[in-house]
Structure 1
Amino acid sequence: MPAHRAAPVAVVRADTVHPLDGTAPEAFAVLGETVVATGGWDDLHARFPGAEAVDLGAVTVVPGLNDAHAHPSLLADGGRYVDLGPAATPTSDDVRAALAARAATTPPGGWVVGHNYDPALTTGAPVDRDLLDSVSTEHPVLVIHYSYHTAAAGSLALSAAGYHDGDPDPAGGELGRDGAGRLDGVLQERAWAEGYLGHGGRAPLLPLPGPGDRVDSLARMLTRMNAAGLTSVCDAMVHPADWRLYQEAHAAGRLTARVGMLLWYEFFEHAADLGLSTGFGDPWLRFSGVKMMTDGASSGGTCLCSTAGGDRGIQVMADDEIAAAVETVHRAGSTLAVHANGDLAIGKVLDAIEDVRRRHPRTLRHRIEHCTMTDPATAARLRAADVVPVPFGAFPHHHGARFVEHYGPEVAADMCPHRTFLDAGIVVPGSSDYPCGPLEPLLALQSMTTRRVQDGTVLGADQRVTALEALTAYTVGSAYASGEEAVKGRLTPGQLADFVVLDADPLATDPEDLAAIAVRSTWVGGRRVWSAEEER
């Protein structure tokens, strides 16, 4: 199907079509951006004379894949950030060299920022204040952890944020210290988010590239998502500058995936004053809810949880702050999307939601992002409160060894508990948390169905789901999480014609091989936005 169809209606067929509505049609008809009929190839051509024929051949078509929680705007940095992922910089010496090369082309006083750094996969000395001071004495130098929950700062970057030796930890964050009590540059949770990103009422310290550069970067990021089979994504932490970025990209026709935006809660007051609430927008760009964060990272060992050795982790928001934010957003009629990984954090969020629902009944479907440590009793509370958990798809595969290291094998086996959620009757979405985890949804399907970690071990076989359940999560489930199940998730009449063409059937493939299935092309609103052939 070309960018602009030659006929008002197109009839699309493939050897295998999974509309996920309980049927198995040979073909479907598309008018505008919507599926208007399904059935046999010949029957649809007879029903729609003159329709354009799109025969995709010996492939499998599934509804467009939908990532319910990722961070594409974080990657729209216009090339300002140095990639410090382990593939690019496997040693701390490589990290220093990459940052020094950037400092050499940056005017004195300009920021030198790296991201995607993974201390567990980067060998050599720690990337801390001393190492970053060796990069440059003329530039503030900052390195952002892959999880975006931790960063490391050189001396000038610490001073720019107002941090000095002897300072106490800020509320909801931690300042790393060496054996002598001197700040070592490691910043966790609010210590770095409020110091550099502009949270907590502060002005952001990190400079943004120009609007045009960010739109170009965002377009490249969305194309990468299209190449993975994604037709929709929910950006799980949007600031005003990101909101403007998406508006500019939409106006310029640069969105190649449908985007839902979760506005950071500190900016919600202004949105509420304007009467904005969940659902504002159009099928391409939509205000999906309000994001807040209550604890740390599961893969980094900082989620607020109970363990055999006692409670542990970082509580990012105090109990009264959680309750106040939940009440403000709920009473304004918007969806809450609350980051909570550990069982203690999840319990605090549920307490606040249950309380506000009793006092102010409203038909709102709130979310708990990640909801990583959940037992059957808590899953029953989620179901009763109509709260949607948004668990990681590929984390058991990608971060399973870290889960075992931080929490022990017994707790780790039940993290990202897709089976527990489904058994409780909960609709489960699929999410990557990219760049904190792998982007590719087909890898997530493999992780969810096998629970096989990168080292080959199986982590929590009891939490495995079927391939159909995993695919349903990344289609129907993600649409449900954003309140769009009436228009997304299935290839059925009345729903959007968003679909992915695969070279093998994920429902007939060995679960161990799901990640190897190739995406042939990706279509949004009946128009092809990415093709493997065009990439060659």
Structure 2
Amino acid sequence: MNLIADLILHNGYVITLEEDMESAEAVAVKDGRIIFVGTSKAALPLKGKDTKVVDLKGKALMPGFIESHAHPLACGESFLEVDCSPGTTNSIEEILCAVKEKASTLPKGQWILGRGWDDSKLSEKRVPTRWDLDQISPDHPVFLKRTCGHVAVANSKALEIGGVTMDSIDLPGGHIQKDVVSGEPTGILEERAQELIPIPEYSDESLREGMLLAQEQFAKWGITTIHDLSAQKRELGVYQNLFKNDELSVRYRLWLWALPDLHEPGVLNEVIGLGIYSGFGDKFINVQGVKFMLDGSIGGKTAAVKESYLHSDGNMGILYKKESDLAPHVISAIKSNLRVSMHAIGERAIDQALNILEKAAEEAESAVSMRNRIEHCTLANEEHVKRFKKLGVVVGSSTGFLYPSADNYVRVLGKERAERVFPHQWYKKYKVIAPGNSDVPVVSGNPFLGIYGLVTRKTEGGLVLGEDQGITVIDALKAYTIDGAYSSFEEDILGSIKENKLADMIVLSENPLFIDPEELKDIEVEMTVFNGKVTFIKEDTAIHS
């Protein structure tokens, strides 16, 4: 071989995640692609005077993680907003202190935005209300999204700007929570009711600054490819500017927001009108398809479940649209060579998604081979899984929720229903591809928390839910790599370490194949390589060049 490598990683344990899983200890890279996988002895002769050579000191090297469902721009925005996430604000009182501190830096009338509160983890074990926020921010409109993004709380000033009063009626697919005694809005807005509040948009420069910070975090987590499940004009603008300025350090796979929902206008008609097909773009940024919203979240008690939530007076969640109204849009997308992705968490929403895909398959033979996706699928049952297989569905499984969120699932669903969330043994049994994800910033984007949940089925509170649905470490690693590549028709260039694949790789603090599963969640990424270039290296790592 006469090639001179740009980068050589040697003296390691290479977890290729290829089917044969042949042992290797070195990888060589040139022009952003892997040119050699094998022994250190065979790799080192590819060194030239400008080759970067990294001694892995025996550490594990594996493919970069593919985050199959995320909201990167929301991650970037979170760096610009009040952080209400668990661990930062653990009570309503602490949220109020954070909002008050932000208000002290802004002129009266300027908006205060925030995200991340989780009532199940607040010390008060309740949702914050407008009256809580009014105590410390009467002169600033305040809008704070729950961690799931499907529920928000607005203060009185924000409700006034949005024209929300006790006489306001619910939008289809949304609910304004009102006090049972006074009839006044509590400030809690569920699903599409959030659209009533005209929150301001960030400037292009602010979004760029936020995304640069988000990309730094993605690299620390070892994420090298992200499926953006809410992409629209703003997202495309930010990604293209990052690419133009050579600031892109993640591959973005775009699912364009189809219909007007949750403050988003929707672009389905424009995309179809322009004749854009799935796959349009390049190895850095490309269009995967269009995304539809069917229901809400379990934590917010808005996912469309089959049986009512516990202690909820019969609440069974929210379906955004009637099946008859939604189906024509989905079928139109499929007939226009656009793959579809449908957010469906509760059983009723999953039923709706499958019914629509069955109708699409009757009208367009290509529907079954398009790898259309259903997102989250938290409460899929075995019959659903059989239908997934028949329809060629790829499940965007939000397994990152198992560890941080499933204790709350037990609280609102009961243990029996919570036992069967994210049923990966069923997916394996019926050969359904189900890439894992975190839906970041809904929960931490650290893939090892999702991998830990997939293997152990343990929650943060120590419960074991559906132990029979646990899978092996290898299968869990594949859920965050090669399965994610399959979900974008890119298994030939991403998701494993093989000659001629794109050079996205990570070095780990511990080898996940050789440690106690309990330690999986504690593994750290020590180096990230994106497109053949090192984008992150941990300060105290033993590896060096």
TM-score (norm 1): 0.93
- The match for 2:416 is 410
- The match for 1:202 is none
Which amino acid in structure 2 is aligned with residue 499 of structure 1?
M
Q: Does the aligned pair in 1 maintain the 2:344–2:375 contact within 8 Å?
A: yes
Query: Are residue 510 (structure 1) and residue 516 (structure 2) matched?
Result: yes
- The match for 1:355 is 359
Aligned positions of 1:101-250 closer than 5 A: 101-124=101-124, 126-179=127-180, 180-192=182-194, 194-196=195-197, 205-250=198-243
**Structure 2, unaligned stretches of length 5 or more?**
259-265
Q: Does the aligned pair in 2 maintain the 1:78–1:214 contact within 8 Å?
A: no
Q: Does the aligned pair in 2 maintain the 1:446–1:514 contact within 8 Å?
A: yes
Shift of 1:48: 7.6
- Cα distance in 2, alignment partners of residues 436 and 78 from structure 1: 11
Inter-CA distance 229–318: structure 2 relative to 1 (3 Å threshold): same
Shift of 1:105: 2.4
Inter-CA distance 50–411: structure 2 relative to 1 (3 Å threshold): same
Shift of 1:534: 7.6
- The match for 1:39 is 38
- The match for 2:24 is 25
**Structure 1, unaligned stretches of length 5 or more?**
1-5, 197-204
Which amino acid in structure 2 is aligned with residue 33 of structure 1?
G
- The match for 1:11 is 8
Shift of 1:331: 1.3
Shift of 1:40: 2.2
- The match for 1:66 is 66
Shift of 1:411: 1.0
Q: How many residue pairs align between the two structures?
A: 522
1:267-317 deviations in Å (ceiling 9; x for gaps):
122122222222112211121221111011023332112127878111122
- The match for 1:287 is 287
- Cα distance in 2, alignment partners of residues 260 and 20 from structure 1: 22
Q: 2:533 aligns with which of 515, 527, 532?
A: 527
Which amino acid in structure 1 is aligned with residue 534 of structure 2?
R
- Cα distance in 1, alignment partners of residues 117 and 510 from structure 2: 34
Q: Does the aligned pair in 1 maintain the 2:400–2:436 contact within 8 Å?
A: no
Aligned positions of 1:489-504 closer than 5 A: 489-504=495-510
- Cα distance in 2, alignment partners of residues 418 and 365 from structure 1: 18
- Cα distance in 2, alignment partners of residues 136 and 153 from structure 1: 11
Secondary structure in 1 aligned to 2:135?
helix
Shift of 1:335: 1.3
Secondary structure in 2 aligned to 1:254?
coil
Which amino acid in structure 2 is aligned with residue 240 of structure 1?
K
Which amino acid in structure 2 is aligned with residue 380 of structure 1?
K
- Cα distance in 2, alignment partners of residues 411 and 84 from structure 1: 29
Q: Does the aligned pair in 1 maintain the 2:69–2:229 contact within 8 Å?
A: yes
- Cα distance in 1, alignment partners of residues 540 and 250 from structure 2: 18
Which amino acid in structure 2 is aligned with residue 428 of structure 1?
A
Shift of 1:254: 1.5
Shift of 1:337: 1.2
| Bigger Cα displacement from structure 2, 38-47 vs 70-79 | 38-47
1:495-534 deviations in Å (ceiling 9; x for gaps):
1111110122111111111111221101011211000028
| Bigger Cα displacement from structure 2, 218-227 vs 155-164 | 155-164
- The match for 2:457 is 451
- Cα distance in 2, alignment partners of residues 126 and 12 from structure 1: 50
1:85-111 deviations in Å (ceiling 9; x for gaps):
232222222222221222232222221
Inter-CA distance 99–48: structure 2 relative to 1 (3 Å threshold): closer
Q: How much identity, in percent, do the aligned residues show?
A: 29
- The match for 1:394 is 400
Secondary structure in 1 aligned to 2:74?
helix
Which amino acid in structure 1 is aligned with residue 13 of structure 2?
T
Aligned positions of 1:327-366 closer than 5 A: 327-362=331-366, 363-366=369-372
Shift of 1:386: 0.6
Shift of 1:263: 1.1
Q: Does the aligned pair in 1 maintain the 2:26–2:37 contact within 8 Å?
A: yes
- Cα distance in 2, alignment partners of residues 427 and 295 from structure 1: 22
- Cα distance in 2, alignment partners of residues 319 and 282 from structure 1: 34
Deviating 4+ runs (over 3 angstroms): 6-11, 44-54, 308-311
Inter-CA distance 64–126: structure 2 relative to 1 (3 Å threshold): closer
| Bigger Cα displacement from structure 2, 169-178 vs 125-134 | 125-134
Q: Does the aligned pair in 1 maintain the 2:153–2:188 contact within 8 Å?
A: yes
- The match for 1:199 is none
- Cα distance in 2, alignment partners of residues 478 and 93 from structure 1: 40
Inter-CA distance 36–79: structure 2 relative to 1 (3 Å threshold): closer
Q: Does the aligned pair in 2 maintain the 1:373–1:415 contact within 8 Å?
A: yes
Shift of 1:395: 1.5
Inter-CA distance 328–502: structure 2 relative to 1 (3 Å threshold): same
- Cα distance in 2, alignment partners of residues 161 and 44 from structure 1: 63
Secondary structure in 1 aligned to 2:144?
strand
Shift of 1:78: 7.6
- Cα distance in 1, alignment partners of residues 338 and 225 from structure 2: 20
Which amino acid in structure 2 is aligned with residue 331 of structure 1?
K
Which amino acid in structure 1 is aligned with residue 474 of structure 2?
L
Shift of 1:50: 7.2
Which amino acid in structure 1 is aligned with residue 467 of structure 2?
A
| Bigger Cα displacement from structure 2, 487-496 vs 234-243 | 234-243
- Cα distance in 2, alignment partners of residues 65 and 169 from structure 1: 41
